[in-house]
Structure formats: C-alpha cells, structure tokens
A = this chain, B = another copy of it.
C-alpha cells in the first residue's frame, strides 16, 4: 500500500494543483457566491450583450436608410421594458423555485412534463451555444487586434475553454473571484463612457474608422415589421437574464435573497447601459460601420481614442470571453435536476471533490469544444443559432408563472399575471421571429438539437423506469442466499505472487483450482507443473492446452465446464503485479488485461484481482546501465530460456 499510495499521491498532485484539494461541506461556503460575485459568475453573458445588442438594432434599422435610425431609442426603450418584465419575473421564479433550473422548474410545476423538457432542452442547447459563442467572440476580438494570431483562432478558443473549465472545476466561487476584475472594469468603464458622453457638451467628432454601411438606393418605408425585426434583433441583449434564476443553489445562504439581489443588480446595470447607449447613439448620430461596433464608436465619440478607450475595449474583450462562464453556472445545475428526475444519466448528480457538479461541467466543455471545432472557431457561423433557446425558455417560464398566479392567487395576482402574460406574449413573438428569420441559416440546427434532447430525455426516463421494474426497486426482495463457491486462479509460474493469490483464494473457499495454459511448445507449462509438484501447495494445478493461440479461450472454456458440472458460484482470482512506477505497467499483467476483458460481461462469474506491490528499486540500483557478464538470470519458470535456437516460437501442441 505504502508504495502504491506514494505513487498515487504523486499522480494526484497534478490534479490537486489544477483543481485544488477536496472541500468539506463546511468549507463549501467559500465556493458559494455573493451577489457581486454573481455578477461576474452568472451575469457576464447578459451584461456583455451591450457589445452586440444595440449594434443588431442599428443594422436592422439601417436597412431602411438613415431616416429609420431615429427609431433606435424607442426600440431600446421597449427592450428595456421587456428586460424589466423579465427581471421581475425571474425574481419571482427565484422565490417560487429555489432549487434552480429556472424555466425547467417553473414548467415542471405548472405546465407539465412535456413543456418542462422542451424548456430544459432549449436551455441546454443555448447554454452550449453561449459558451462557444462568447469564447469565439472574445478570441475574435483578440485576433482582430493581432491578425498574426488568426490562424490559431481555434487553438486559442480551446485553450480559453480549458481555462474556464478548470476554474469552474475548482468551484464557482473561484471562477467568480477570478473574473471580478475584468467584470468591474467593463461595467465601470461602460458606465463612465455613458456619463462622459451625456455631460460632455458635444461629441468629439473624432474621425471614425471604417465606412458607413447605409444603403445608397431607395429607402424602404418604415413599417411595423421592420420595427419588430429591430426589436427581435435587439433582444439578443437579453440572453443570460435567466442564468441567475437557474443557478440559485450556487449562492451563499440566504440563497434566494442573494440571488434576487443579483438579478436586480443585473437588471438595473443592463437597463442603464442599454438606455444610456441608446441615447448616445441618437446624440452622436451613430451609424453602422465596417469593422467598428456601435459600442466602439460611442466610446470613441465620448472619450476619444486614447488609453481609456483601449482599456475599456480590452475589458470588453475579456468580459465577452468570460461570459462563457454563465453557461458553466447554469448547465451543470440544470443537468443535476434533470438527472435527479431521471431524464439524464445519474452521474450528473454526483458532485466532485470540490462540491461542483463536475460531470456537468465536463460535459458542457466537451459539447462546446465540439461546437468550436465544427465551426472552426468562427462566431458568425454560430450567431444564427443563438438566442432561440433562451427565448423559448423565457416564454415557457413566463407562461408557467401565469399559471402559477392563476392557481395561487396571492394579493395582486392579476397584476403579476398580467406582467408575466405580456412578457410571455412578447418573448413568444420574439421566438417566432427568431425561428422564421434564422431557420434556414442555422436555426434548424437548434430545432433538431432540441428535438433530439427531448426524445433522449424521454428515453432515459423510460429506461430507468424499466430498470426499476426489472430490479424491483419498490418491492421487498426475497432474502439473499449464499452458495458454494469455487475459485479459479490463472497462474503462469510458482512465485510469491502465486502464493499470495492461492492464500487469498483459500480464504474465500476450500474449493480452489489453479490453471495454466500450455502455449507454443508447452515447455513453460511443463516447467510450472514440475515446480508446482515440488511446492505442493495443497491446491491442484490444471494444465490447459489449446488449439487456438489465445491464452484466454482455454481458461474461459474451463470455467464454462466447471459451471456446467457444479452448482457453484465461480470466482476468478487474477494475480496482478502493481509496479511502483507507472511506466512499468506495460510490462505486466497481460493475462489480466485479456482475461478481464473476455469476462467483462459475464454475470455468472465474479472477477477479482489479487494485487502485489513490486518495487524493483528495492533490489537493484543500476536500472540505467547494462552489465552483460554478471546479470541475474531469469529462471525457466518465468519464461523460455534465453537461447535463440532452442525454443522456436511456432505454434505446436
């Protein structure tokens, strides 16, 4: 034990350094998050959307010519109103469903299993997309600044993903604290830009790089459809609003109060940012430009293009990449809830040493990595799939709350139901607009993925129900009964390992048989037989011969014979060497590997291993050098004699 223990500790060190030592329940509080930390851990997705939300509105409106740009502000106001509805709604979700899960939990309680699974699938798809999109967007900003890196974009994305995954495996508290500084700079920076822009007497009129992207042809009439499209496009700024409600269990106690405070903080900051940027867009006559985001133009107009501009740009870039963390906060909790309800494999319920749902974190990392590889780290190919899932979740959560109010009818339930009903209608309309406008350019992938997930959930649940039936989980089974046991020990020599294996076999049963397989010319088997007779351990040795090359087949055949002859439980006890060094593993236990694999699915045989520690450093110190003259001889029992011509390795009886 000591030797293997030392090695295992050494092996574990890397994991410890990367992920940290295991945490006690009592220490978990340090990994649970406060409202401010909640902003960096769960809200970056929503907050950083100011980097692309206003832009999306501008681009749609610009399609109708410069005259339509004055609609930016009213559309922004409408979005902020929807934001307020969503924040109020999700604060109520936090109160009603404090286990997290957001839309899934709400729908499960109010709208039935089908809708809840639809919401869960939509959220899972969107979480994965969010992780991939934000990392790709963050890396995209870096490679725009340093074009030399652009050929390595995918590797940068995967490295970033690995970093975020590792930090999350350490615990969300660590992630939140690690991301606090860029989050703070980003929020303070953008707010400062807005304040400066508002109090400054006039725009700086700095020349903006890039060219204006306004159509030069005839202008469209500004219709209701255009405004709706602009509204739907701007709604991408709202993705991530649900993450706080989905991740309530991650907060420090009192959980609900802290989570609600985070939700409010998020709503206020995001609302102020959106409104402020909306006002400045109009004031500075911002127009879509090539290679320049609206945010970047506003920053340039308001503070000029010097160090402050670059610091905030950099913080925006970092915050964009770290927005992937929102997914790592939300998806593992959702997966654990689905797993608890038997819609996902139970392994998603297990917590890791750091009390995180490590399987969910790893699964998200794998999915996001696959997505990044599939699109080669290119954000543009992911954008059309984005937001459909989140808005499906919004719609489901709001509708669920309407039903909730209808059933509960607390004071003012009509007003609350009204707000949520309005929210449900608006988000439903947005979802439909997303689906219709984005379907052919990638939205169909989301539809397919959500369908696949929903079918999978149902199948997994049905399967678990079948297993519960088969194994009689809800009945009291008959009492267990012991049987006679016979132990089979495959041996290749007479040694201390063989002795230990026989000793342990004799501890389990009086009925022990050793078996050895005669291969090639059978010399080695004869040698084992002779030494066995000399030893006389009180256990019979059966020499098995075979027409096939495999060592395993004759042993399996012997076991089958014995099973047919006696009504006994068969235990196969395989002697194994545990070398002190990892690299020496390849040198041992080849029989164990093939025999265990052959018996892997046998339910009528118990396979067990007897292990012995071997540390050759105890007997030899010259492992590095060769010494032909005085080398120790490996005796016959171990293998064929080392003369080249005496034992020809051709097959024979």
Chain B's nearest CB lies how many Å from the CB of A247?
A: 12
Does A474 have its Cβ within 8 Å of any Cβ on chain B? Answer: yes
Q: Which residues of B contact A484 (CB under 8 A)?
A: 507
B538–A480 touching, CB < 8 Å: yes
Chain B's nearest CB lies how many Å from the CB of A86?
A: 20
If A99-B648, A337-B649, A500-B480 touch, does A628 touch B571 (CB 8 Å cutoff)? no
B471–A496 touching, CB < 8 Å: yes
Q: Which of A519, A539, A614 has the most B CB atoms < 10 Å from its CB?
A: A614
Q: Which residues of B contact A507 (CB under 8 A)?
A: 482-485, 569
Residues 530-551 of A at the B interface (beta carbon under 8 Å): 531, 534-539, 546-551
Residues 619-653 of A at the B interface (beta carbon under 8 Å): 619-620, 622-626, 628, 631-635, 637-640, 642, 644-645, 647-653
Does A28 have its Cβ within 8 Å of any Cβ on chain B? Answer: yes
B99–A471 touching, CB < 8 Å: no
B340–A639 touching, CB < 8 Å: yes
Q: Which residues of B contact A577 (CB under 8 A)?
A: 467, 471
B537–A644 touching, CB < 8 Å: no
If A24-B548, A355-B549 touch, does A473 touch B618 (CB 8 Å cutoff)? no
B352–A619 touching, CB < 8 Å: no
Does A202 have its Cβ within 8 Å of any Cβ on chain B? Answer: no
If A342-B642, A549-B353, A648-B98 touch, does A477 touch B506 (CB 8 Å cutoff)? no
Q: Which of B105, B483, B590 contacts A644 (CB 8 A)?
A: B105
If A477-B498, A548-B353 touch, does A612 touch B455 (CB 8 Å cutoff)? no
Q: Which residues of B contact A482 (CB under 8 A)?
A: 503-507
CB-nearest residue of chain B relative to A535? B476
B634–A587 touching, CB < 8 Å: no
A506–B531 touching, CB < 8 Å: no
Residues 566-625 of A at the B interface (beta carbon under 8 Å): 569, 571, 573, 577-578, 584, 586-588, 590, 593-594, 601-604, 606-616, 618-620, 622-625
B624–A455 touching, CB < 8 Å: yes
Q: Which residues of B contact A144 (CB under 8 A)?
A: none
B113–A614 touching, CB < 8 Å: no
A312-352 contact mask (Cβ, 8 Å, vs B): 1 or 0: 00000000000000000000010011001110011101111
B22–A618 touching, CB < 8 Å: no
A48-91 contact mask (Cβ, 8 Å, vs B): 1 or 0: 00000000000000000000000000000000000000000000
Q: Which of B485, B534, B584, B632 contacts A465 (CB 8 A)?
A: B632
Q: How far is the CA of A452 from the CA of B4 in the complex (A)?
A: 27
Q: How far is the CA of A614 from the CA of B463 in the complex (A)?
A: 10
Q: Which residues of B contact A569 (CB under 8 A)?
A: 504, 507
If A473-B637, A620-B465, A631-B465 touch, does A608 touch B611 (CB 8 Å cutoff)? no
Q: How far is the CA of A651 from the CA of B624 in the complex (A)?
A: 51
B479–A508 touching, CB < 8 Å: no
CB-nearest residue of chain B relative to A463? B616
If A355-B549, A504-B569, A649-B337 touch, does A613 touch B603 (CB 8 Å cutoff)? yes
Q: Which residues of B contact A467 (CB under 8 A)?
A: 577, 588, 614, 616
CB-nearest residue of chain B relative to A472? B496
Q: How far is the CA of A577 from the CA of B236 in the complex (A)?
A: 45
CB-nearest residue of chain B relative to A509? B508
A587–B537 touching, CB < 8 Å: no
Q: Which residues of B contact A493 (CB under 8 A)?
A: 473
CB-nearest residue of chain B relative to A24? B547
B594–A350 touching, CB < 8 Å: yes
Does A469 have its Cβ within 8 Å of any Cβ on chain B? Answer: yes
Q: Which of A336, A549, A620 has the most B CB atoms < 10 Å from its CB?
A: A549
Does A112 have its Cβ within 8 Å of any Cβ on chain B? Answer: yes
Q: How far is the CA of A16 from the CA of B229 in the complex (A)?
A: 58
Q: Which residues of B contact A506 (CB under 8 A)?
A: 480-482
This chain: how many copies in the complex? 2
Q: Which of B99, B470, B504, B549 contacts A352 (CB 8 A)?
A: B549
A587–B460 touching, CB < 8 Å: yes
Does A434 have its Cβ within 8 Å of any Cβ on chain B? Answer: no
CB-nearest residue of chain B relative to A493? B473
Q: Which of B340, B473, B616 contacts A647 (CB 8 A)?
A: B340
Q: Which residues of B contact A112 (CB under 8 A)?
A: 628
Q: Which residues of B contact A505 (CB under 8 A)?
A: 480, 482
Q: Which residues of B contact A455 (CB under 8 A)?
A: 624
B476–A531 touching, CB < 8 Å: yes
Q: Which residues of B contact A117 (CB under 8 A)?
A: 626
Q: How far is the CA of A577 from the CA of B470 in the complex (A)?
A: 11
Q: Which residues of B contact A108 (CB under 8 A)?
A: 644
Q: Which residues of B contact A588 (CB under 8 A)?
A: 346, 467
Does A466 have its Cβ within 8 Å of any Cβ on chain B? Answer: yes
Q: Which residues of B contact A651 (CB under 8 A)?
A: 25, 28, 351, 355
A649–B249 touching, CB < 8 Å: yes
A345–B587 touching, CB < 8 Å: yes
Q: How far is the CA of A550 from the CA of B346 in the complex (A)?
A: 14
Does A497 have its Cβ within 8 Å of any Cβ on chain B? Answer: yes
Does A14 have its Cβ within 8 Å of any Cβ on chain B? Answer: no
Q: Which residues of B contact A28 (CB under 8 A)?
A: 651
B483–A503 touching, CB < 8 Å: yes
Q: How far is the CA of A337 from the CA of B428 in the complex (A)?
A: 72
Q: How far is the CA of A6 from the CA of B385 in the complex (A)?
A: 42
Q: Which residues of B contact A26 (CB under 8 A)?
A: 547
15 additional contacts (CB under 8 A) given A342-B634, A603-B611? A4-B602, A25-B548, A25-B653, A340-B649, A342-B639, A345-B590, A353-B548, A463-B623, A468-B634, A470-B616, A473-B494, A473-B637, A480-B501, A480-B502, A607-B608
